Amino acid sequence: MDQKLKVGILGGTGMVGQRFISLLENHPWFEVVAIAASPRSAGKTYEEAVGGRWKMHKAMPEAVKNIVVMNVNEVEKVASEVDFVFSAVDMSKEEIRAIEDAYAKTETPVVSNNSAHRWTPDVPMVVPEINPEHFEVIEAQKKRLGTKRGFVAVKPNCSIQSYAPALFALKEFGPKEVVATTYQAISGAGKTFKDWPEMVENIIPFIGGEEEKSEQEPLRLFGKVVDGKIEKAAAPLITTQCIRVPVLDGHTAAVFVNFEKKPTKEEIIDRWENFKGLPQELELPSAPKQFIRYMEEDNRPQVKLDIDFENGMGISMGRLREDTMFDYKFVGLSHNTVRGAAGGAVLCAELLTAQGYITAK
Ligand SMILES: N[C@@H](CC=O)C(=O)O
């Protein structure tokens, strides 16, 4: 790419916004030129606006420290500075839908981490290795919005990343019933232990709205495009329990599954280890070389040891064995704020750029 695309981060001061800023440091195609947040932060430099609330392990990139934060509600002004935006705004669902549509209507593509648009029929919700063909609905969406290049695309919830890709890789065997329990890190709620002391040595067996997302979103991912809309898949039937655990980063899932046609253990491991999609074929900058790996050791994957596999963009599976009630059970681990949030959105934007949906204005 001759010149980098100019990127804005909406909601740049929060946990996911910070993750976008951190992942985009030295990105070969994209350069952060604008950061927008609430009116409270507007007018301050990014460094001042974040203050002591920088939550990434890596230091704040020098290149963004002096960017003056803009008011996210001044849509035209922010949009005039960028080729496209990532959205991690923290508002009500109605407000998020309205503001993301408003940016799209200024002819600015929006790649969003938010859940607000995940069930809008002509908004693609994509994991680039699983359902890149869903980007086709962008044409129908542009007609609805009356735009030429502006649209909204989203990525799914972080909780499903540790099992949905693993089930998709086994689709030839027809996964039909799935029971998944997720053990979700506190960064999924945008928190650290400092801001959530109640989570130290504790487990909270409730995450608002999470079980519905974890049961339904995989079906939209596995669905197909019909007449410019996504039609969700009918199978597998999924039931989940989502539990908050005292871990900073890393969502683990313990999964039981029945198949139409029961594979062997060797077949499952083979399909996982060899699973590839368009990002690998196109060698997109953030694509993991290996998306899914299988770990033979009985005590893996572990959050502390395995979360950064493929820079947080790969997922780790383990403990695959036959079960007394189901065909198989296994454990999966993914990085919730990288693959599960900002990293997943960056990979979507890379694919959208490679396919010509995102261009310089
Ligand atoms: N809702 C999730 C975050 C994923 O996007 C969580 O609370 O962990």
The predicted-structure confidence for 245-258, as pLDDT tens digits, reads as follows: 999 999 999 999 99
DSSP string for residues in 132-191 = GGGGGGHHHHHHHHT-SS--EEE---GGGGGTHHHHHTTGGG-EEEEEEEEEE-GGGGT-
Mark whether 158 is an active-site residue.
yes
Q: Where are the domains of the chain?
A: 3-154+340-353, 158-332
In degrees and rounded to multiples of 5, residue 214 shows phi and psi of -70, -30
Would you give the end-to-end CA distance of the chain in angstroms? 15
If one residue of 184, 216, 252 were mutated to test the ligand 1 pocket, choosing by the most ligand atoms within 8 A of its CB, it would be 184
Here the tokens at position 139 are: 């044409």
359 CA from centroid of ligand 1 (Å): 30
User: Coil, strand or helix: which one is 325?
Assistant: coil
- Lining residues, ligand 1, CB within 6 Å: 157-159, 184, 188-189, 207, 210, 336, 340-341
Is the domain 158-332 a CATH 3.30.360.10 member? yes
Q: Are strands 175-184 and 251-259 parallel, antiparallel or unpaired?
A: antiparallel
Q: What is the predicted pLDDT for the residue at 1?
A: 78
If one residue of 159, 160, 181, 333 were mutated to test the ligand 1 pocket, choosing by the most ligand atoms within 8 A of its CB, it would be 159
ipTM: 0.95
Mark whether 251 is an active-site residue.
yes
Return the residue whose CA atom lies nearest to atom 6 of ligand 1: 188
296 CA from centroid of ligand 1 (Å): 28
The predicted-structure confidence for 275-292, as pLDDT tens digits, reads as follows: 999 999 999 999 999 999
Here the tokens at position 93 are: 């669902």
Query: Which run of H or E residues covers position 251?
Result: strand 251-259
Is the domain 3-154+340-353 a CATH 3.40.50.720 member? yes
114 CA from centroid of ligand 1 (Å): 10
Among 117, 134, 242, 251, the active-site one is 251
Q: What is the predicted pLDDT for the residue at 68?
A: 98
111 CA from centroid of ligand 1 (Å): 17
| Residues contacting 317, CB < 8 A, separation 6+ | 166, 272, 292, 293, 294, 295, 301, 330, 331, 332, 333
Atom number, ligand 1, closest to the C-alpha of residue 207: 7
Atom number, ligand 1, closest to the C-alpha of residue 244: 8
Here the tokens at position 156 are: 């799914």
CATH fold match for the domains 3-154+340-353 and 158-332: no
Q: Which phi-psi region, left, alpha or beta, contains residue 168 (left: φ > 0; alpha: ψ -120 to 50)?
A: alpha
75/71 Cα distance (integer angstroms): 8
If one residue of 157, 191, 199, 242 were mutated to test the ligand 1 pocket, choosing by the most ligand atoms within 8 A of its CB, it would be 157
213 CA from centroid of ligand 1 (Å): 10
pTM of the complete model: 0.98
What are the mean pLDDT values of the chain's consecutive 10-residue runs (361 residues total)?
94 96 98 98 98 94 98 98 98 98 98 97 98 98 98 97 98 98 97 96 98 98 97 98 98 98 98 98 98 98 98 98 98 97 98 98 95
